[in-house]
Structure 1
């Protein structure tokens, strides 16, 4: 009997299904996906897997994702991992700040190497030498192909009995007497279940709010650009973080992929998000992100002068669920037995996927959790309107406060 239903075949739903299957529950798990796996927000991710976080619990969640990737690769699954490390670059005069960053990484158990300007340039020769003091290198960081990681989780889960249904859309979480009873589909049919995991990404509040659990998150535009091919960017170069200007970059098939944290991010009402994000525009005044790029281009040019002359080959935008407090949304509904949520990743869903999968699986199995999860509680804000303009604005502001990455 399949009595555990996971709503959403993106990277978080796939990771949850995989983690449950590794606990022997595969034959009980059904994943519902209205389109194809990884076709929503997952497909638009820059797909960084980075360890450095302010919260030690979130560091452990990211570390668990690296372990999950290693297990998948041991099972001959290809995730497109590029083990290039990350480089946190400091501007001239920021030597003390770099020392402090290296010390903080060490205190969190993250392997780091404090390096000087010449070593920075040896790893990322596209950077402008005069702008750089030095850097902190984190060798364990990597990036992956988001579609490959998501489908690897699902393939490995299916080998342990998990079933994936595509082309079916959940309309509501059916419940009675304080307990989950299943999922109602848009065609009016129902699938019985004692456990439902809401991993519906930017659409998750449409299900949870109707079930009496408004989630403290909203879809906010995350976007990045990819330059035309350039010999200035080494194919095996590291992920680069430029915290002073709140930007990040990484190689992408002979080009540079980069993102700049805008001052005024744009949130969307999830009720207006289409199932197909291909033509969705967050801001009609800036549909292709040119204003946002212009806002940060001068700062970026100080580190990468080539941005002023290189053409932009691609612009990718998509919804990332941001929370006002910067914490994830992972856990159980305290008022509805059997409902769990895996969401609210603040633009880092790939990074936390393996950790969130394990955390949800431990909760479903009523095991001790490997990290404290109280701060991630889905009901931590109580009852409120998750669709109000004021709340959407608060979530957008959270993206503006986030450091690059």
Structure 2
């Protein structure tokens, strides 16, 4: 007699990566159980800034058409959530990169205009044109801008909760407040997991989607993913009557980004970041580092005031949200089978863009599990085995190996090395 029981997948982690994978697997006919150590979508996902765009079309110079496909999949997925009635605060505002100097136009904006993946409706803007699109922006504070009109904004916490609700509708079982402590194996294959309470949860395959905590569960396989884990901070002001505006990106100011949130602003840049390796800090679900917050507040208050003067009265009281993000050694995601153990898969390494790429990565991994291929992207770019089993001595070495964040900085490194 043929066993007609649907295949079962056990997923560890109920953030955007794990929940997206769960939804796509359930739609493909899998029975799916998701185990989460806390509440669903309440760790790194809940700290997401919520701007989604086509970053591979110029901004992230180290990505290509495969990442662009993941990004478009994310935009389409969130539009689908919104159309289905889930309140994720979706706004079709676009993404605008600002240049404060003529040099920044040369370094950052013109490469966007010349990029082979540039969307057809993307274009350069004058300072006056930019101010017409961005409520409250002082045109005297900038030289020019570049717009990708198709970018969207969502509330990452609300999107995470909506995704959990959708997963349940699709038949996924989500078990919260259930830490997983061990992989279960049999005859060289992953067959489930062991919870902290001693329960064995079995499946035909196991997916680790535990973010910055993934390596703890991988330790028995002999493989360590090349993560540099970082505390990331953002600030959110009280409302002050600001209208909807595009997400603003200012590469020349440490990657400063600004977006409207409920009539106020949410914003941040690298001043509010610190690698866990610097102080040998633990990877906490919701970090509390007020020193990083204050440093970023002090640094950004005069900058944001100059750009959007009406925000000045509320900036000093801006509240902070912090989370732990995981960068990879080549700034590409890690998603696919773990070669050391059959039936074990991973999706991790958000590279601070998990909100954008999570839905596409979940789709890709589900397709790999079900059919062995995923034609809409190049899965080899994300395969764990593109790295040796233990490629770096520590997280500081991972960070040192990462490509420069900006293409202009990468070119400068090459010139200095000559």
Give yes or no for the alignment of 1:77 onto 2:86: yes
Shift of 1:167: 2.3
CA spacing shift, 1:316–1:399, aligned 2, 3 Å:
farther
Compute the TM-score of the two structures, normalised by the length of structure 2.
Answer: 0.85
Does the residue aligned with 2:295 lie in a helix, a strand or coil? helix
Is 1:141–2:145 an aligned residue pair? no
The Cα shift of 1:202 comes to 1.6
Does 2:243 align with 1:238? Answer: no
CA contact under 8 A between 2:232 and 2:272: conserved in structure 1?
no
* Separation in structure 1 between the aligned mates of residue 401 and residue 258 of structure 2, nearest angstrom: 22
Alignment partners' CA distance in 1, 2:209 and 2:92 = 28
Count residues with an aligned counterpart.
Answer: 390
Paired residues for 1:2-401 under 5 Å? 3-25=8-30, 28-53=31-56, 54=61, 55=63, 56-93=65-102, 94-96=104-106, 97-104=108-115, 107-109=117-119, 111-231=121-241, 233-234=242-243, 236-245=244-253, 246-262=255-271, 265-267=274-276, 272-274=282-284, 276-277=285-286, 280-281=287-288, 287-295=291-299, 300=304, 302-304=306-308, 310-369=315-374, 370-384=376-390, 390-392=394-396, 394-395=398-399, 398=402, 401=405
The 10-residue stretch of structure 1 (115-124 or 75-84) with the greater mean CA deviation from structure 2: 75-84
Structure 1 position 380, deviation (Å): 2.9
Give the C-alpha shift of residue 45 in structure 1. 0.9
The 2-side partners of 1:33 and 1:263 are apart by: 28
- The answer on whether the counterparts of 2:209 and 2:348 sit within 8 Å (CA) in structure 1 is yes
User: C-alpha displacement at 1:206, in angstroms?
Assistant: 0.9
1:279-335: CA deviation from partner (whole Å, max 9, x where unpaired)? x335xxx53521244345555555345676532320111101111211111111112
Aligned-partner SS, 1:52: coil
Matched position secondary structure for 2:125: strand
Q: Deviations over 1:33-73 (max 9, x none)?
A: 12211111111111111112231211110110111122223
1:92-112 CA-partner distances (Å, limit 9, x unpaired): 3244552431231x6344641
Q: CA deviation at 1:338?
A: 1.0
Residues 289 and 60 from structure 1, CA distance in 2 versus in 1: closer, same or farther, beyond 3 angstroms?
Answer: same
C-alpha contact 2:124 2:146 (8 A) present in aligned 1? yes
User: Conserved in 1, the CA contact under 8 Å of 2:46 and 2:160?
Assistant: no
Q: What SS class does the counterpart of residue 146 from structure 2 fall into?
A: strand
Flag structure 1 segments of 5+ consecutive residues without an equivalent: none
Query: How far is 1:166 from its partner?
Result: 1.6
Of stretches 137-146 and 87-96 in structure 1, the one that deviates more from structure 2 is 87-96
CA change 1:396–1:36 in 2 (3 A) is farther
Distance 1:135 1:45 in 2: 25
Partner SS, residue 365 of structure 1 = helix
- Is contact 1:15–1:153 with CA below 8 Å preserved after alignment? yes
Distance 1:83 1:5 in 2: 35
SS at match of 1:281: coil
**Equivalents in 2 of 1:39, 1:396: separation in Å?**
30
Deviations 1:239-287 (A, max 9, x none): 001111121000112211111123973225999334x52xx335xxx53
Distance across 1 between alignment mates of 2:236 and 2:281 = 30
Root-mean-square deviation (CA, aligned residues, Å) is 2.7
Structure 2 counterpart SS, 1:209? helix
